[in-house]
Amino acid sequence: MKINFRHLLIMAVLAFLMAGFLHFQSPNIPDRDSLFYIREAWLLRTNSLFNTQFPWTYFSSIRLLGSDLWYGGNFLLIPFTYFDNLFLGIKLAGTIITALLLIGFFWITQRHNMELKFLWPFLMLFAVPNALLQFLMMRPQTLSFLFSLLLFSLLALGNWWSVFLVSAGLVFFHLNFFWIVILITGIFVLFYLIRYLTVTFYLGDKNILKNEKFDWIKILAVTAGGAAGWLLRPHPISAAKLLYIQVIKLLVEKQSKLPLAFGTEWLPYNWRDLFNASFLFFLVWAAAIIFFAWALYKHHSLILKFPFEKSFLLWGSLITSSVFFFLTVLIARKSLLSWVTFGTLFIACLYNYVIPGKSYKNNIAAILFIIFLCMFSYSSYRNSIDMANSIPPDAHREAAFWLKENSQPGDIVFNTHWDNFSILFFWNQKNYYIGGLDPIFQYDYSPRLYWEYYFLSKDITDEFTCGDLDCSPEWRKETYMALTDDFNAKYVFIEQKRNPVFYSFLEQDPRFEKKFSSANNRETVFLIKR
């Protein structure tokens, strides 16, 4: 392994230029969660590094458990909270995170002596328009993809302490991704077992394995690293309980077919939508799998005799990308980014380790470059549209400022949609809100209160709401009484376009007084009279 630092420097310059252009091409923010993360980092800096109490999602398990699933990522963002303009902090942090992902992918291809190493990181970035927008979101999951790739590479070729550090970083920065550590480690163990059985009994040549021993130290290191990443945060037990709610309980409730208001990232793609969103990358990835199957059929003895490093990278990236592909279409579309990341690594491994002959490789490289130009053009075009339609810098600001200036500390605001929370919280930490971040935390706190919230949020009812999905008479409750008695709310924040039925009810009922309204009644704050 020899690192060309000149090439690494060139890649760093290209990565930062590209990431900077993509992040600063629009003043808008790709996602709402970025506003939550930067404000939470600001609170860690201004209050206490170890205070993870979170009363702002009042009717949520997050408030009860008082821990932070995203503590590591928020901790990392603290330097970017020193800017007076936190939007600038978001842009700069996002630029650095995206650039590091590109540099990390390049470093991996370089340390494994791959050709076309300048192509693969950018092919990953522009492979799928939907993935590009998510790669630009200032979320800890982008770091998770970087650490996942690094862990994969270090298991193939690395020492135990580097495996430990990367595993710890992966879990610390984003606890939700702990299972990726388990997945990659499981694939590593399974691969070694299959490799041993194949070489020993199918090829009958143990000499291939004479310098290979199962590295138990790495398994212990990755396990210890994951545990360290979990424990190196305030209130790790409470964090584990939140993790159980957002991952395990959420998946269980999804299978129950209850109409819970999950974020779209937790919903699967159907085959048609996935193909429409990623047709070029899907075709390249599928073609790579077909070619590999053919090559394995024709030259199985040669491929099975690959040294451990190449063999694990090739087979491991194939298995991992396939797992994430099926997770994308069966479980949650948020797995799309992992499929693209490891799918690109598989394509790179196939090109470098399996495709024979220089002239043949040159032809494939030319085709890949043309495909990349198509991906780059289409993804850039789509991304410019997506960024123009994303979160503007002044979203909910006027309404949040009015609440901040005209309410008492701790007054509860009934935000009619859970996804309003991140923006309102960014501008106004004086008030508390019904919930946010993920509806599963509200449902876990109280199913009855969740359904009362759900019927109003979805504009199903107006004068009354229901504490159960069947909305039978015994579960019905007058809306005003639910807002005052059950939620103890003083204000209602509502967008007329998203809730025309509920808005009309509030406007006509004298027990509610319109206190603030933006242009065209886009955002309105109602006072609940007592």
More confident residue, 67 or 199: 67
With contact defined as beta carbons under 8 Å apart, do 420 and 57 qualify? no
Would you mind telling me the total number of residues written for the chain in this entry? 530
Give the mean model confidence (pLDDT) for residues 358-385: 93
pLDDT of 202 higher than 80: no
Q: How far apart are CA 213 and CA 147, in angstroms?
A: 25
pLDDT in tens, 149-197: 999 999 999 999 999 999 999 999 999 889 999 999 999 999 988 888 8
Q: How far apart are CA 339 and CA 327, in angstroms?
A: 9
pLDDT in tens, 455-501: 999 999 999 999 999 899 899 999 999 999 999 999 999 999 999 99
Give the mean model confidence (pLDDT) for residues 28-53: 94
Domain borders along the chain are 5-30+67-388, 397-528
pLDDT in tens, 437-447: 889 999 999 99
524-528 and 464-466 beta bridge pairing:
unpaired
pLDDT of 91 higher than 90: yes
> What is 173-186 written as a DSSP string?
H-GGGHHHHHHHHH
pLDDT of 301 higher than 90: no
According to DSSP, residue 269 is labeled P
pLDDT in tens, 110-156: 999 999 999 999 999 999 998 999 999 988 888 888 999 999 999 99
Q: Quick one: the chain helix, strand, coil %, rounded to 5?
A: 70, 5, 25
The C-alpha torsion from 266 through 267 and 271 to 275, rounded to 10°, is -60
pLDDT of 342 higher than 80: yes
Secondary structure, 3-state, 30-71: CCCHHHHHHHHHHHHHHCCCCCCCCCCECCCHHHHHCCCCCH
Element at 482 (helix H, strand E): none
Q: What is the pLDDT of residue 125?
A: 97
Q: At what angle do helices 336-353 and 140-156 cross, to 10 degrees?
A: 30
Read off the amino acid at residue 419. D
Q: What is the pLDDT of residue 268?
A: 82
What does each C-alpha distance from 48 to 44, 77, 207, 234 come to in angstroms? 5, 14, 58, 11
With contact defined as beta carbons under 8 Å apart, do 513 and 526 qualify? yes
Q: Which residue in 503, 491, 504, 495 sits closest to 523, CA to CA?
A: 495
Q: What is the pLDDT of residue 9?
A: 96
Q: Which residue in 304, 249, 516 sits closest to 407, CA to CA?
A: 516
Q: What is the average pLDDT score of the chain?
A: 92
Q: Which residue in 284, 249, 185 sits closest to 440, CA to CA?
A: 249
Q: What is the pLDDT of residue 1?
A: 61
pLDDT of 384 higher than 80: yes
> What is 412-472 written as a DSSP string?
EEEESSGGGHHHHHHH--SSEES--S-HHHHHHH-HHHHHHHHHHHTTS-SSEEESSTT--
* 3 state SS of 491: strand
> What is 197-235 written as a DSSP string?
HIIIIII--GGGGTT----HHHHHHHHHHHHHHHHSSSS
Q: How far apart are CA 40 and CA 55, in angstroms?
A: 12
* 3 state SS of 514: strand
